[in-house]
């Protein structure tokens, strides 16, 4: 019997960036075998895509219902163990819920659902199912982000007093200024994307990075959105003031109309003894700042890094690793959880991170729509 975990994939067909990212990540550490799934809404397209990427077509199903029914008829050792949900946002909740209710582990793209109520329902479903559930906040898989987390946990910065996270992109400029285009893109359709575009798509990553690295939780926030056009229902830019404690405050800045920006995710954590800075576009460099010492630069693969960081480093120092490797580290952590092996709680984001993300997204929308007021998170 194969020792590899049998993986099914929902969505991600055709030229989907997310699809490529997840498939490559699943293969990198040799822990998974993609055995089937539903790649496209059209069964014909799914079959063609499976042939194109050399996956047997006998377990390419027309829809999720057929997948579940057919897989459960197979002997336990042959059926899919885990499914990755890579579909548009509005399908995440019903698909993840059905999978959990039928005994499958789940790896889900973010946002986990389109609203906080669904996230809470899914959390209860998971508690009953007792399965592994991961939300792919990919950037937590970078070795230097993990190093940042471990250094803060060890108290190297002292008491945290300021946090600053930014996620700037400019891609939606090509859509938002054309009335016909902005009314036809699913990310600007609240029925498909949920109640937020910018904050729901990328701002939530910045939020997650703050909570992941500091171990603190955002307790309240005040948000101001920009929609650019009166007929556009979805935010494309936003600034969020956050409070994590009485004396720990910060800001999250997120934009999809930051002209010229590509994937500008940056995070800075300031403590009483020092600070740490990291940028996604230069992921192999973690900067430590101090009032009393010269600037220090941490890089992957060196013995001075934490066990969690080194565990996510596959190549010797000086060999750049990127987004595929970061996602692969999340898949590696999930494989350990599925097999019942021991793992660090920083190896993959969980259902709780997904619930926190939806609480954040809904709170930003509520804050803005109620006149830019402070809103408490649960």
Burial grade of 44 (CB within 10 A; 0-12, 13-18, 19 or more): exposed
- Measure the CA–CA gap between 143 and 120, rounded to whole angstroms: 31
Token pair of 187, please? 């990310």
- Measure the CA–CA gap between 157 and 160, rounded to whole angstroms: 7
pLDDT score of 2: 59
pLDDT score of 187: 86
- Measure the CA–CA gap between 247 and 159, rounded to whole angstroms: 10
In tens digits, what is the pLDDT along the chain, a chain of 378 residues? Answer: 458 999 999 999 998 999 999 999 999 999 999 999 999 999 999 999 999 999 999 999 999 999 999 999 999 999 999 999 999 999 999 999 999 999 999 999 999 999 999 999 999 999 999 999 999 999 999 999 999 999 999 999 999 999 999 999 999 999 999 999 998 888 898 888 889 999 999 999 999 999 999 999 999 999 999 999 999 999 999 999 999 988 999 999 999 999 999 999 999 999 999 999 999 999 999 999 999 999 999 999 999 999 999 999 999 999 989 999 999 999 999 999 999 999 999 999 999 999 999 999 999 999 999 999 999 999
Token pair of 359, please? 């609480």
> How far is residue 189 from each of residues 193, 197, 213, measured CA to CA in Å?
6, 8, 32
Secondary structure of residue 162 in the 3-state scheme? strand
- 248 HSE (CA, 13 A, CB side): 19
Interaxial angle between packed helices 351-369 and 204-214, expressed in degrees from 0 to 180 and rounded to the nearest 10: 130
pLDDT score of 213: 98
Q: Which domains does the chain have, with CATH numbers?
A: 5-138 (3.40.50.720), 142-305+349-369 (3.30.360.10)
- Measure the CA–CA gap between 258 and 264, rounded to whole angstroms: 9
Which helix (H) or strand (E) segment is 240 a member of?
strand 237-245
* DSSP string across 298-367: E-TT-TTS-HHHHHT--S-TTS---HHHHHHHHHHHHHHHHTT----TTSS-BHHHHHHHHHHHHHHHHH
pLDDT score of 1: 41
Q: Model-level pTM greater than 0.85?
A: yes
pLDDT score of 327: 98
């Amino acid at each position: 019997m194969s020792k590899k975990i049998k993986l099914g994939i929902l969505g991600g067909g055709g030229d989907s960036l997310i699809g490529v990212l997840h498939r490559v990540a699943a293969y990198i550490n040799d822990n998974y075998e993609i055995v089937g799934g539903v790649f496209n809404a059209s069964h014909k397209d799914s079959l063609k895509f499976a042939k194109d990427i050399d996956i047997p077509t006998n377990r390419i199903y027309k829809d999720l219902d057929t997948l579940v029914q057919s897989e459960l008829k197979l002997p336990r050792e042959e059926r899919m163990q885990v499914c990755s949900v890579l579909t548009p946002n509005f399908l995440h909740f019903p698909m993840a819920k059905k999978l959990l209710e039928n005994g499958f582990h789940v790896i889900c793209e973010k946002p986990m659902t389109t609203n906080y109520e669904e996230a809470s329902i899914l959390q209860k479903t998971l508690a009953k199912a007792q399965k592994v559930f991961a939300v792919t906040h990919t950037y937590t898989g970078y070795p230097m982000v993990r190093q940042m987390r471990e250094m803060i946990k060890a108290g190297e910065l002292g008491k945290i007093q300021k946090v600053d996270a930014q996620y700037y992109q400019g891609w939606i400029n090509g859509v938002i200024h054309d009335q016909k285009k902005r009314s036809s893109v699913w990310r600007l359709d609240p029925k498909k994307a949920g109640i937020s575009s910018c904050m729901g798509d990328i701002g939530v990553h910045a939020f997650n990075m703050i909570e992941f690295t500091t171990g603190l939780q955002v307790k309240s926030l005040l948000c101001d959105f920009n929609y650019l056009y009166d007929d556009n229902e979805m935010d494309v830019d936003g600034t969020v003031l956050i409070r994590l404690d009485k004396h720990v405050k910060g800001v999250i800045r997120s934009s999809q109309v930051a002209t010229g920006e590509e994937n500008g995710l940056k995070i800075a954590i300031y403590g009483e003894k020092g600070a740490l800075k990291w940028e996604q576009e230069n992921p192999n460099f973690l900067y430590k700042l101090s009032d009393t010492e010269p600037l220090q630069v941490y890089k992957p693969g060196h013995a001075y890094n934490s066990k969690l960081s080194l565990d996510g480093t596959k190549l010797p120092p000086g060999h750049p690793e990127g987004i595929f490797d970061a996602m692969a580290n999340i898949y590696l952590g999930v494989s350990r959880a599925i097999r019942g092996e021991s793992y660090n709680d920083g190896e993959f984001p969980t259902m709780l991170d997904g619930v926190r993300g939806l609480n954040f997204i809904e709170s930003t929308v509520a804050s803005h729509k109620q006149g830019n007021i402070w809103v408490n998170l649960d």
